[in-house]
Amino acid sequence: MGESLKILLIDADSMFRKIMEKYANEHKVHLDSFRSFDSINEQSQLNSYQLAVVEYDQEGETGYDVAVKLNELCRDLPVLLVSATNRPWQHGDLEINNIKALASKWIGYDKVFDILVKGAKGDFDQASLTQMEEFSPGEEERQKFHSWSEDGKITQIPHHHCYAAY
C-alpha cells in the first residue's frame, strides 16, 4: 500500500497523530506528524511530500490558514483538511486550489487513513469540493463518543452527526 508515499500530518491532537503513525507503520507509508505548522523543522523540505493533512482546528489559527501558508511555500502540495468537530464546511475553505478534500474524523480512523493514502496518490473525489452532504447516523452511531486524553485527563464529547467528504 505504501509505494514510497510521504505524507505530512499537522494536528494538535497527539492521540490522532499516534493512531495515524501506527497505521502508517503497518502499511509502510512514510508519515511525518507535527503538532503545529510552526513545529515543522525543515519547511524547505515540503516539496518532498505527496500530501499534507491538516486539522481544521489549530491552536490560534484554522487549517485554512495553514493551507494558505503551505500554498505560499509549496504550491503543488495538495492539502486534505480533517476535523473532529461537527461543522458545515464553508465555501471559503475551498477558495485556494491546494485544498483538495475535506474529511470528518467521525468516519473512522481506518477510513481517514485510506483517504490519506488515496490523496497521496492524487486520488481525490472532486465532487467533495463543491458538495458536502450531511448524513444522519443511525441510532447506534448516536451513541458514539469522541474521546481524547491530554495530560492524563480523558475528555469525551458525544457524536451527533458529521459532514464528510467521502
Whichever domain contains 114, its CATH number is 3.40.50.2300
- The answer on pLDDT for 8 being more than 90 is yes
Least confident stretch, 85-94, 100-109, 110-119: 85-94
Higher pLDDT, 131 or 149: 149
Q: Determine, yes or no, domain membership for 53.
A: yes
Cell numbers for 27: 502499511
pLDDT of residue 58: 83
How much of the chain, in percent, has pLDDT values that exceed 70?
66
| Burial profile 115-147: b = 16 or more Cβ within 10 angstroms, e = fewer | bbbbbbeeebeeebbeebeeeeeeeeeeeeeee
pLDDT of residue 141: 44
Average model confidence (pLDDT) for the chain?
A: 76
- The answer on pLDDT for 77 being more than 90 is yes
Exposed, middle or buried, 50 (CB in 10 Å: 0-12/13-18/19+)? Answer: buried
With left for phi above 0 and alpha for psi between -120 and 50, is residue 58 left, alpha or beta?
beta
What domain range is 104 assigned to? 6-164
- The answer on pLDDT for 146 being more than 80 is no
CB 165 within 8 A of CB 158: no
pTM: 0.73
Q: Determine, yes or no, domain membership for 109.
A: yes
Q: Determine, yes or no, domain membership for 100.
A: yes
Q: Domain count of the chain?
A: 1
- The answer on pLDDT for 66 being more than 80 is yes
Nearest to 23 by CA among 56, 1, 52, 55: 1
Nearest to 116 by CA among 84, 78, 87, 146: 78
